[in-house]
Amino acid sequence: MNNTDPRSSALRLGRIWTATSYSLQGLRATYHHEAAFRQELMLAAALIPLAFALALWSPLTGTQCALLIGSVLLVLLTELLNSAIEAIVDRISGDHHALSKRAKDTGSAAVFITLVNCSVVWAMVLFDVFG
């Protein structure tokens, strides 16, 4: 099929719908199985509206607001990837293995770094605006 075929746009929409469905299933599964993701989601539920409120009622710029929100979303993204790593490792083997531990610890370290990044971004932006 080429781009002039009317079915090609319908097929693309079908793929988008399917991909969205898989993404929502992944979010749902992570929410149900990962306490850390639920905690970080609660943090996001508080911080993202706060960033928008600050953008409306303070001298916070759009770029600063985007930095605040982006740093929070990066934490969620990294936790999703970490959860995927943990699920794969657990699926492969329930045995304790040094490489399994390293994979899980590395994923955890990635989440930790994004949490530090989020804290630094929020501190620097808020200091820049209110300090």
Nearest to 113 by CA among 67, 77, 63: 77
Nearest to 127 by CA among 74, 68, 42: 68
pLDDT at 39: 98
What residue has token string 């988008």? 16
Cβ atoms of residues 57 and 100 within 8 Å: no
Q: How many helices (H) and strands (E) would you count in the chain? A: 4, 0
Model pTM score: 0.88
Task: State whether CATH 1.10.287.3610 applies to domain 34-130.
Answer: yes
pLDDT tens digits in sequence order for the chain, 131 residues long: 455 665 666 678 888 999 999 999 999 999 999 999 999 999 999 999 999 999 999 999 999 999 999 999 999 999 999 999 999 999 998 899 999 999 999 999 999 999 999 999 999 999 999 98
What is the rounded distance in angstroms from the CA atom of residue 21 to the CA atom of residue 7? 21
Cβ atoms of residues 65 and 50 within 8 Å: no
Is 79 designated active site? yes
Q: Active site residue: 34, 40, 79, 86, which one?
A: 79
Residues belonging to the chain: 131
What is the rounded distance in angstroms from the CA atom of residue 100 to the CA atom of residue 57? 48
